[in-house]
Chains A and B, each alone.
Chain A
Amino acid sequence: MIEKNEKFENTDELIEKIFLDQNIESIKKDIKIGDELMKSRQDLQPPAEIVSNIKKQLGIALAARRVFSWNRVLVKAAAAAAIIILGFAIFTYDRPVIKKPDLAVIETSDETAADLLESWDTLEHQADAQIATLSLEIERLASTIIALELENANADNGAVSGLLDEFELELIETETTFWKG
């Protein structure tokens, strides 16, 4: 057993520092006599049975703590292993190649539907513009053919006839382009 420490610091000096204007000598005396009284107090030893029981209880507590620590380590290890396996499975998973958009996804996704509608509108506008251009072209070619036929009727010569054939071919080509879209 460690002996009770009787090597107190210099109490007199401390008293002088703390109790400035008071009756320092009286305080020193009170503490000195009090300390002597405390020293005369009979020291007891705890019953051996109590000490022995304490040591047994400590052994049980430490064993329980060790089991608890091991359980914690095992749980942590299992959690870490699960994360690694899951990560590996995700990393090595072969995703199927999607060739066509999933209609279910398109139907359930507002954003995708909006994008689709916007694309559709753009295509529609482009098609309308192309139709208008081709219609104008057809009308222009038709007018040219009529004019040339009239001229052909007035003066039938080979040069005009060749020009007419050329315009007819152009008209056919324009119409083909139109129907192809």
Chain B
Amino acid sequence: MRRENMAEKKLISDLVAGCKKGDNECFSQIVDLYSGRLYNYFYGISGNHDLAGELLGELFLKLVEKIGGYRGENFDGWLFRIASNLFYDSLRKKKRQKQLLEKKKALEMISLKEKPKSDTEMADKIQRQLQKLDPETSELLLMRYYSGLSFADLAQARNEPIGTTLSKVHRGLKKLRELMESDND
């Protein structure tokens, strides 16, 4: 397990070194490695496939700009922090928050009418409940899940004490469970 982790770190380190030199192939491999997790992260917080795709594209273009400033910290944490900033920037700049709220309301209406029956529907249901959480909480939960960062790294990426991060995650997960349970009733 540890050896796999070391090999993964080495791979990322080599790819990042190549990216710093402007190697197209290394960027391409980074896209292959991270696009899935990041797409899920963006989709999780936005609930919109188009927006998730758009943000994913913006993120990798940002990576070209910012890779020179990467100083060897946890790459996943660094990348997800850029992703998080990008998401909040997009909310501020394009005033999408209103659209997201409208989308949330629409999803809530759908959830009242439909009851999930299969695993897929269960997964969709979680997505809907995530949308009901405030954007910061759902973003935190998704970041923790898809970045795979430890609480310590997560707190560092968010520039807050570890206790604060842990409390927020706890409250967020508890709220998510409550929403799921209330939806079952």
A and B found bound together: yes
Q: Tell whether A65 is near chain B: CB-to-CB under 8 Å.
A: yes
By the criterion CB–CB under 8 Å, are A43 and B60 in contact? no
Distance, CA A61 to CA B162, complexed state (A): 37
Distance, CA A47 to CA B126, complexed state (A): 21
By the criterion CB–CB under 8 Å, are B27 and A58 in contact? yes
By the criterion CB–CB under 8 Å, are A46 and B28 in contact? no
By the criterion CB–CB under 8 Å, are B151 and A11 in contact? yes
Q: Which of B27, B52, B173 contacts A35 (CB 8 A)?
A: B173
Q: Tell me which residues across on chain A come within 8 A of B124, comparing CB atoms.
A: 42
Residue from A2, A40, A43 with most neighbouring chain B CB atoms (10 Å) = A2
Q: Tell me which residues across on chain A come within 8 A of B127, comparing CB atoms.
A: 41-42
Q: Tell me which residues across on chain B come within 8 A of A6, comparing CB atoms.
A: 148
Q: Tell me which residues across on chain B come within 8 A of A18, comparing CB atoms.
A: 162-163, 166
The total of chain A residues at the interface (CB under 8 A) is: 41
Q: Tell me which residues across on chain B come within 8 A of A61, comparing CB atoms.
A: 61, 64
Q: Tell whether B147 is near chain A: CB-to-CB under 8 Å.
A: yes
By the criterion CB–CB under 8 Å, are B176 and A37 in contact? yes
CB A34 to nearest CB in B, in angstroms, measures 2
By the criterion CB–CB under 8 Å, are A62 and B24 in contact? yes
Residue from A34, A44, A51 with most neighbouring chain B CB atoms (10 Å) = A34
By the criterion CB–CB under 8 Å, are B56 and A54 in contact? yes
CB A92 to nearest CB in B, in angstroms, measures 42
Q: Which of A11, A41, A43 contacts B36 (CB 8 A)?
A: A43
Q: Assuming the A-B contacts A41-B123, A58-B60, are A31 and B36 also in contact, with contact meaning beta carbons closer than 8 angstroms in the complex?
A: no
Main secondary structure of the interface of B (DSSP, over half): helix
Q: Which of B5, B56, B61, B145 contacts A50 (CB 8 A)?
A: B56
Q: Tell me which residues across on chain A come within 8 A of B110, comparing CB atoms.
A: none
Distance, CA A46 to CA B174, complexed state (A): 29
By the criterion CB–CB under 8 Å, are A1 and B8 in contact? no
Q: Tell whether A27 is near chain B: CB-to-CB under 8 Å.
A: yes
Distance, CA A37 to CA B124, complexed state (A): 12
Distance, CA A35 to CA B142, complexed state (A): 11
By the criterion CB–CB under 8 Å, are A58 and B64 in contact? yes
CB A13 to nearest CB in B, in angstroms, measures 11
Distance, CA A71 to CA B49, complexed state (A): 39
The 5 closest A-B pairs by CB, nearest first: A5-B148, A34-B173, A42-B123, A46-B39, A1-B36
Which chain B residues have a beta carbon within 8 Å of chain A's beta carbons? 1, 5, 8, 22, 24, 27-28, 31-37, 39-40, 43-44, 49, 52-53, 56-57, 60-61, 64, 76, 119-120, 122-124, 126-127, 130, 141, 145-152, 162-163, 166, 169-170, 172-174, 176-177, 180
Could you pull out 10 A-B pairs where Cβ atoms are within 8 angstroms?
A6-B148, A19-B166, A30-B174, A30-B177, A34-B176, A35-B173, A37-B180, A41-B145, A45-B36, A53-B57
